[in-house]
Amino acid sequence: MLVLSRKNEESVVVGGPDGVEQLVKVTVLEIRHAIVRLGFEASTDVSVHREEVWRRIRAGRRRDPPNVGRNGTGSRSGDRTGNVLSGVEEGRSPKSMRDRV
């Protein structure tokens, strides 16, 4: 496991196989109490999920359509283009997101 330290508004970029293409950019948006709020930027063909949602999708893959997790799971949120992602939808607290999924 790679462990990196980042401060507020600092980012980490995950690249493609060539090491130049950006697949995912993760930015620390806010650090408050024991909660870190992260923002994810990825193209719409890259799936990004919270781990517990990813595990449910993976467990149900045999019976679910291939696009499960793209809509309706609460994993992608942010702007309408799908490029900015976070664990909190607008107007919802992290707890209500967790309870919804």
Q: What is the pLDDT of residues 28-52, one digit of tens each?
A: 999 999 999 999 999 888 999 999 9
- pLDDT in the model for residue 68: 47
Question: Taking phi first (over 0 means left), then psi (-120 to 50 degrees means alpha), and beta for anything else, what does residue 78 get?
Answer: left
Cα 101 from Cα 94, distance rounded (Å): 11
The chain-wide mean pLDDT, for the chain, equals 74
pLDDT at 97: 40
Look at residue 17 and tell me whether its pLDDT is greater than 50: yes
Boundaries of every domain in the chain: 11-100
Of residues 97 and 8, which shows the higher confidence score? 8
Q: Is the pLDDT of residue 13 over 70?
A: yes
